[in-house]
Amino acid sequence: MIICMAKKRKYINKNHHSHKKKQISESKEPVKKKLNGVLDKGWKRVAALLLILGGIASFIAIQNEWLKSSKKKFEEQTTESGSLNPPKLNYSNSQYSQISNDGFKFFIPRIPPNFDSKTNKRFPPIIGLHVIDFNINNPIYVDCGNRIFYLTPQYFHKGVDILKTLGDSCSNTSLILGLKGDRLYISTEFKRLQNEETMGIIEYNHWTLFKENILTYRYNDTMLEVRDKQNKIAFSIKYGQTSMMRTKKGPPFNGVIIRGYFLGDTSLTVINSQPGFFRGCFLKSDPNWKQKAAVEISKIKSLWNN
């Protein structure tokens, strides 16, 4: 009987503990469900918030891109900050072949213009100067200050270094004109007089302008002009009417007109259109070369409205 009562008590205690556990478990269940609900709602809110923020950011980016002017977009693609001492585009005389025509000795690069280089942010593509009256059988005239010369298109397909043609004894930089189709392309580097840092690089159908050293630039289908921080014309090129007359009564020849200043390692070349002046050669060995060059640079006129 004692054993029976003990078993009964044990059974009652077991049931009591089981019932108690069940009560605790049941009491925890709403809390767990509530906690899971809160966490679930919290994650949903976080996800929704992130989605909203992402949508706002995307909208702002799209709106900003849409509202940008074409000039602003072009500026972002064609300017960069940072190093202002990029690789030089200089050629030595040994990399040229020479031809003579009408009293001029022309320098033709042994390496022809490369229009197939890969496009990247540093060198966005450009379309070149439109030779509006292009004819494969007619010469292309080049007007550098008061000096005019011409060559047939076949030579421009190979590239012609204009600065070395004007006077290879002075120029230790290059300005090469290359022809593709009915458009002329340029390879040159132009530097600012004051600090001798790079303002821009053009490699035929790719170019870069450096914000730190230019004031402004403008271009269209037949011309390009760059001004330095002093608002002086650093480089100006245009395809249009030259100063050379067809006859005494006839209209001028069309051709490439070039103005600007070109700074090399040991000298600076200035091309302006002052009477009796076609090229200034200023050697850096002269202690006053910058002051003298600045006088002639100030005389360079814009080709934009001519």
> If we measure between CA atoms, which residue out of 38, 151, 50, 160 comes closest to residue 98?
160
What is the total residue count of the chain? 306
CA atoms lying within 13 Å on the CB side of residue 232: 24
The whole-model pTM stands at: 0.69
**253: in domain:** yes
- Pick the more confident residue, 16 or 107: 107
Residue 178, helix vs strand vs coil: strand
> What is the rounded CA–CA span in Å between residue 79 and residue 285?
33
62 and 197 part of one domain? no
Structure-derived torsion over alpha carbons of residues 241, 247, 249, 253, reported in degrees to the nearest 10: -10
59 and 90 part of one domain? no
Rg (CA), the chain: 37
Q: Average model confidence (pLDDT) for the chain?
A: 75
Q: Are 140 and 159 in contact (CB under 8 A)?
A: no
Dump pLDDT digits (tens) for 17-74.
554 444 545 555 554 555 555 456 666 676 667 777 777 766 666 656 565 566 666 6
On the question of pLDDT at 181 being above 60, the answer is yes
The domain tally of the chain equals 2
46 and 127 part of one domain? no
- Pick the more confident residue, 253 or 79: 253
What phi and psi, each to the nearest 5 degrees, are found at residue 268?
A: -130, 135
- Pick the more confident residue, 213 or 288: 288
Dump pLDDT digits (tens) for 158-175.
999 988 888 756 767 889
Please tell me the predicted confidence (pLDDT) of residue 234: 92
219 and 114 part of one domain? yes
On the question of pLDDT at 290 being above 90, the answer is yes
> What is the rounded CA–CA span in Å between residue 39 and residue 98?
81
251 and 188 part of one domain? yes
